[in-house]
C-alpha cells in the first residue's frame, strides 16, 4: 500500500492581483485612481475579471473620486453592448465585417469622393476626450493624408470662448495658469457659471478655506449644488438672468474704476488698452446693470467693493483672490466677451501673474486642454500654432516633411461643419472620433438631416452611440484603460494614462486605424501607431511653440509634475534650475505662467473695449432654457447611460422649473412636459426647483431622442469663437399631450 501511495499535489499558486495607477476617463480634473485587476474566474471569458477602482493620492483629487469615476470600470471588458468588430451598412442594417474590408471600403470611398469633389469633400470631427497622441495624429492625418481643411472638434462646444478670450487678453490659452492647489489658500473665490459640486465633486475641497472665510461667491441663475455651498455664512449666491453675466461684470468693472478701487500701478505696469476698456464700461453704472442682469445695483456695488477689499488685503500680506469661469458664462453668443470681462476684472484687481491670486477657466472634457493644443481645431496646428501664420506653418511642415504650401488653410468651425453636411458647400463624407454629435451639437435635428445626406459617415467608438446609428462604417476602438496615452489636465499639467487591462479582441487603437488608412490612401507622410512614438514626435513638433512639450520624456511622466510650456532642457537627464517643488512634488516646466510677463510680444495683458449687443431686460423673452450637466452623467451620456448605478439615479431627461412658474403653467411634478423653441421640441419629466429663477428652466444635455436638449438650441454663434448659444434659448413649456388615455 505504501508503495502505491502518492503525495497530494500542491495547490496551484493563486494568481496575484495587479494594480495600475492611472487617471479617470471623465472630466479635466483627471483624478488619479488605482485599477486593481483580480485574476479571472473563468479561463474562457473576460467579463468575469473584476476590476476595482480606488482613488489615489493626487493634488487635484487627494484620493477622492466622484460617482462617475468610482463606477468607470463597469464599462471595461467584453460587455454585450461593446463594439468588437467593424460594421458596414448594407441597405438599412449594419453587418459585421473584417478590418481589411472596412478600411479598404473607407479608403476607396474617400479617394472617389475627393477625385469628384476635391480635397475638402472629406471632413474630420475630433474630441476633447482623445489623448494627446490621438488628437495630434488626427490633425496630422487630416492635413497630410486627406489634405483637407475640414477638421474641427467638440471642444468648439466647450472651451472655444474661454480659449479665444485668454489668447486675446493674456496672450496664451491655458485654462488654469496656476496649480489647482493654489486655491487652497484663497480667502475669496468668485465662481462664474460653474457647478463644480456636480461636475467635478473632488474640486470642492479646494474651496474650503474660501468658504471658511465666507468668501465663496457663486454666480448662477439657479441655486445649484455649488451655489448651495455658500449657505450658512460660507459665501454669497448671485442669480442673474440667463445672458445677464456680461452686463453684471461690466457694471462691477464700472464701480471699480469709478470709485478708484482698481490697482492703477499694476494696470500701468502690466497692461495696455485701459483707456478703451474704461470708455466701454462708462455707461454701465449699477442701475443700468441691474435692468439687464437682474442683479440689484446694491449687490453690484457690494461685489465690486468686496473684491477690491479682498485684493487689497491680499497685497498687504493676506490670502489670495481668484476669479474662475465655467461654461455657464461662456456658452453664449457673447461668451468670448463675457470671458474677456472676467479676465479684465481680475486685471483691474491686479491679480493675474501675482501671488495675490488670478484668473482661470475650468476646462470640462478630460483632455479639453491638450485636445485644443494638438492641432485638431479648424484654425490651429500642434503647439497652439496658427494655421494662418507663415512661420507656424513652416515649422510644422518642416517636421512633417512636406512643403508649407501643401498644408491646407483654416477650415470650418464645428457648428458650420455639421450644419453644412451634404450641402453644396459642405463635406460629402465625415469621420467622427470620440464624439456623439447627434446628442451634443446644437440644432440636432438639422445635424441628423445632414448625416443622412452624406455619401459616407465613419464613426470610431467603443459603443454603438446615437451617431453610430447613422454611420455607413463603424470602427470599434479601445477605451481609456486599454491603452497608453497622455492627457493635459485643467492646470496645463501633462499626465500619463496607463494601460491596465486588455481590450476586447477585435477592437483597435485609433492610432493604428489612422496609420492604416493613411497607408491605404498612399500618403507620403507615414503615421506612427504606438503612443510613446507619437509622444516623442509631439515633443519635436511642439518645440519652441507656445504649448511646448519638448522638455519631458515619456518615461519620466509620473515621476515629476510637468506643466507646459516645457523647453527641451530635460531635467531628467540634466537636472537644473527648472525643477522646483509645488505641494511637495518635484515640478518641471511652468506651473504658474505670467509671473514675469504675459503671452503677447510686449509682455503685457491687452485690455480693450467690450460691448453688449442688444441689451434686453430679463422679462423681454419670457421663459429661458439653460442647459448643463448632472453629477451622474457626462457629456452625451454614451458612457454613463450604460452604467446601471448612474442611470438608476437619473434615468431620463428632466426639466427643472420653479414651483411658482410650474403652477402658472399647470405642470405637475413627476409628469412629463413638452418644451418648444423655434428649432424644435423635446419631452422631459418635471422637477420642481425653488432655487431657480422664475423666468428660467434647466435641462441636462446628456440624453438622446425626444429627451435631447439640443433639439431646442438653434446654433446661434459667438462671432469671435464660433461657440454655440447653449445657455439662453427662449422656450415655451406645456404639459405633455396625452397618449393612450394617459399623460405621457
pLDDT of residue 314: 98
Q: What is the mean pLDDT of residues 141-158?
A: 97
pLDDT of residue 14: 44
Query: Does the structure show a pLDDT above 60 at 576?
Result: no
Query: Quick check: 452 and 437 in contact, CB under 8 A?
Result: no
User: For the segment 212-261, what is each residue's pLDDT rounded down to a tens digit?
Assistant: 999 999 999 999 999 999 999 999 999 999 889 999 999 999 999 999 99
pLDDT of residue 218: 98
Q: What is the mean pLDDT of residues 645-667?
A: 97
pLDDT of residue 654: 98
Q: Rounded distance, CA 263 to CA 350, Å?
A: 6
Q: Are strands 605-606 and 681-688 parallel, antiparallel or unpaired?
A: unpaired
pLDDT band, residue 580 (cuts 50/70/90)? low
CB atoms within 10 A of CB 104: 15
pLDDT band, residue 613 (cuts 50/70/90)? confident
Mean of all residue pLDDT scores within the chain = 93
Q: What is the mean pLDDT of residues 30-44?
A: 77
Please indicate whether residue 260 or residue 425 has the higher confidence score (pLDDT): 260
Nearest to 350 by CA among 300, 298, 325, 313: 313
Calculate what percentage of the chain has a pLDDT beyond 70.
Answer: 93
Write the DSSP assignment of 674-710 as a string of letters: EEE-SS-EEEEEEEE-TTB-TTEEEEES---GGG-GG
pLDDT band, residue 6 (cuts 50/70/90)? very low
Q: In this structure, what is the dihedral angle of CA atoms 144, 148, 149, 152, given to the nearest 10 degrees?
A: -90
The C-alpha cell of 431 is what?
Answer: 469621420
Q: What is the mean pLDDT of residues 461-476?
A: 97
pLDDT of residue 38: 80
Query: Does the structure show a pLDDT above 80 at 569?
Result: no
pLDDT band, residue 15 (cuts 50/70/90)? low
ω into 532 cis (within 30 of 0): no
Least confident of 78-92, 264-278, 333-347, 533-547: 78-92
Q: Rounded distance, CA 602 to CA 189, Å?
A: 29
pLDDT of residue 16: 58
pLDDT band, residue 677 (cuts 50/70/90)? very high
Query: Does the structure show a pLDDT above 70 at 22?
Result: yes
pLDDT of residue 48: 43
Cell 507615414 found at: 526
User: For the segment 47-71, what is each residue's pLDDT rounded down to a tens digit?
Assistant: 446 789 999 999 999 999 999 999 9
pLDDT band, residue 715 (cuts 50/70/90)? confident
Q: Rounded distance, CA 312 to CA 99, Å?
A: 64
pLDDT of residue 590: 94
Q: Give how far Cα 523 sits from Cα of 147, 400, 526, Å.
A: 10, 12, 7
Count of residues making up the chain = 744
φ and ψ of 618, to 5 deg: -55, -30
Extract the runs of DSSP E, i.e. beta strands, from 489-546. 493-497
Query: Does the structure show a pLDDT above 50 at 739?
Result: no
Least confident of 305-314, 340-349, 566-575: 566-575
Query: Quick check: 560 and 587 in contact, CB under 8 A?
Result: yes
Query: Does the structure show a pLDDT above 70 at 608?
Result: yes
Q: Rounded distance, CA 461 to CA 468, Å?
A: 8
Q: Rounded distance, CA 744 to CA 739, Å?
A: 6
User: For the segment 181-194, what is each residue's pLDDT rounded down to a tens digit?
Assistant: 999 999 999 999 99
The C-alpha cell of 495 is what?
Answer: 499626465
Query: Does the structure show a pLDDT above 70 at 444?
Result: yes
pTM (predicted TM-score): 0.94
pLDDT of residue 617: 77
Extract the runs of DSSP E, i.e. beta strands, from 298-449. 321-325, 357-361, 380-381, 385-386, 429-433
Q: Give how far Cα 376 sits from Cα of 176, 369, 409, 454, 499, Å.
A: 21, 12, 13, 21, 24
Q: What is the mean pLDDT of residues 403-431?
A: 96
Q: Give how far Cα 324 sits from Cα of 216, 218, 578, Å.
A: 11, 10, 28
Amino acid at each position: 500500500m505504501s508503495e502505491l501511495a502518492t503525495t497530494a499535489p500542491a495547490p496551484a499558486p493563486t494568481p496575484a492581483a495587479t494594480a495600475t495607477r492611472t487617471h479617470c476617463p471623465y472630466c479635466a480634473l483627471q483624478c488619479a485612481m488605482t485599477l486593481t485587476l483580480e485574476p479571472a474566474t473563468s479561463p474562457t471569458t473576460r467579463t468575469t475579471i473584476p476590476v476595482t477602482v480606488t482613488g489615489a493620492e493626487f493634488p487635484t483629487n487627494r484620493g477622492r473620486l466622484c460617482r462617475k469615476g468610482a463606477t468607470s470600470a463597469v464599462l471595461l471588458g467584453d460587455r454585450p453592448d461593446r463594439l468588437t468588430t467593424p460594421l458596414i451598412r448594407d441597405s438599412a442594417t449594419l453587418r459585421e465585417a473584417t478590418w481589411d474590408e472596412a478600411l479598404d471600403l473607407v479608403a476607396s470611398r474617400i479617394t472617389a469622393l475627393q477625385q469628384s469633389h476635391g480635397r475638402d469633400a472629406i471632413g474630420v470631427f475630433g474630441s476633447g476626450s482623445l489623448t494627446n497622441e490621438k488628437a495630434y495624429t488626427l490633425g496630422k492625418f487630416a492635413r497630410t493624408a486627406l489634405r483637407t481643411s475640414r477638421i474641427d472638434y467638440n471642444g468648439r462646444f466647450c472651451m472655444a470662448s474661454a480659449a479665444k478670450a485668454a489668447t486675446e487678453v493674456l496672450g496664451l490659452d491655458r485654462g488654469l495658469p496656476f496649480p489647482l492647489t493654489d486655491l487652497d489658500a484663497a480667502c475669496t473665490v468668485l465662481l462664474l457659471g460653474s457647478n463644480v459640486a456636480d461636475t467635478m465633486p473632488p474640486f470642492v475641497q479646494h474651496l474650503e478655506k474660501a468658504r471658511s472665510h465666507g468668501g465663496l461667491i457663486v454666480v448662477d441663475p439657479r441655486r445649484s449644488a455649488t451655489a448651495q455651498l455658500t449657505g450658512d455664512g460660507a459665501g454669497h449666491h448671485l442669480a442673474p438672468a440667463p445672458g445677464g453675466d456680461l452686463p453684471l461684470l461690466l457694471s462691477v468693472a464700472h464701480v471699480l474704476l469709478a470709485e478708484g478701487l482698481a490697482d492703477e500701478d499694476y494696470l500701468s505696469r502690466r497692461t495696455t488698452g485701459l483707456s478703451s476698456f474704461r470708455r466701454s464700461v462708462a455707461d454701465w453704472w449699477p442701475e443700468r446693470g441691474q435692468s439687464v442682469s437682474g442683479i440689484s445695483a446694491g449687490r453690484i456695488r457690494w461685489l465690486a467693493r468686496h473684491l477690491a477689499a479682498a485684493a487689497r488685503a491680499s497685497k498687504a500680506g493676506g490670502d489670495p483672490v481668484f476669479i474662475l469661469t465655467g461654461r455657464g458664462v461662456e456658452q453664449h453668443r457673447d461668451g468670448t466677451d463675457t470671458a474677456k470681462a472676467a479676465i479684465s476684472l481680475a486685471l483691474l484687481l491686479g491679480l493675474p501673474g501675482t501671488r495675490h491670486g488670478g484668473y482661470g477657466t475650468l476646462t470640462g472634457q478630460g483632455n479639453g486642454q491638450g485636445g485644443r493644443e494638438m492641432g485638431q481645431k479648424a484654425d490651429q496646428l500642434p503647439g497652439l500654432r496658427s494655421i494662418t501664420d507663415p512661420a507656424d506653418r513652416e515649422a510644422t511642415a518642416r517636421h512633417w516633411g512636406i512643403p508649407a504650401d501643401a498644408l491646407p488653410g483654416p477650415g470650418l468651425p464645428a457648428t458650420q461643419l455639421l450644419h453644412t453636411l451634404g450641402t453644396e458647400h459642405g463635406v460629402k463624407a465625415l469621420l467622427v472620433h470620440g464624439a456623439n454629435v447627434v446628442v451634443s451639437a446644437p440644432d440636432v435635428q438639422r445635424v441628423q438631416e445632414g448625416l443622412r445626406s452624406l455619401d459616407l459617415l465613419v464613426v470610431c467608438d467603443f459603443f454603438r452611440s446615437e451617431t453610430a446609428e447613422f454611420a455607413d462604417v463603424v470602427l470599434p476602438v479601445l477605451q481609456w484603460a486599454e491603452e497608453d496615452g497622455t492627457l493635459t489636465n485643467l492646470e496645463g499639467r501633462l499626465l500619463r494614462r496607463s494601460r491596465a487591462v486588455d481590450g476586447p479582441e477585435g477592437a483597435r487603437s485609433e492610432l493604428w486605424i489612422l496609420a492604416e488608412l493613411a497607408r491605404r490612401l498612399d500618403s507620403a507622410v507615414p503615421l506612427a501607431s504606438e503612443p510613446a512614438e507619437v509622444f516623442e514626435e509631439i515633443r519635436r513638433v511642439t518645440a519652441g511653440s507656445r504649448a511646448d512639450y519638448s522638455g519631458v520624456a515619456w518615461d519620466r511622466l509620473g515621476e515629476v509634475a510637468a506643466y507646459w510650456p516645457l523647453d527641451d532642457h530635460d531635467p531628467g537627464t540634466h537636472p537644473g534650475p527648472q525643477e522646483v517643488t509645488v505641494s511637495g512634488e518635484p515640478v518641471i516646466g511652468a506651473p504658474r505662467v505670467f509671473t514675469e510677463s504675459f503671452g503677447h510680444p510686449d509682455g503685457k495683458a491687452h485690455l480693450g473695449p467690450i460691448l453688449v449687443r442688444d441689451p434686453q431686460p430679463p422679462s423681454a423673452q419670457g421663459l429661458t432654457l439653460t442647459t448643463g450637466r448632472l453629477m451622474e452623467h457626462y457629456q452625451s451620456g454614451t458612457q454613463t447611460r450604460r452604467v446601471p448605478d448612474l442611470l438608476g439615479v437619473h434615468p431620463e431627461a428632466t426639466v427643472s422649473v420653479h414651483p411658482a412658474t410650474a403652477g402658472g403653467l399647470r405642470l405637475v411634478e413627476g409628469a412629463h412636459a413638452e418644451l418648444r423653441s423655434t428649432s424644435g421640441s423635446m419631452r422631459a419629466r418635471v422637477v420642481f426647483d425653488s432655487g431657480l429663477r422664475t423666468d428660467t428652466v434647466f435641462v441636462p444635455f446628456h440624453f438622446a431622442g425626444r429627451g435631447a436638449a439640443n433639439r431646442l438650441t438653434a446654433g446661434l454663434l459667438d462671432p469671435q469663437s464660433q461657440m454655440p448659444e447653449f445657455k439662453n434659448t427662449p422656450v415655451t413649456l406645456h404639459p405633455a399631450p396625452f397618449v393612450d388615455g394617459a399623460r405621457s
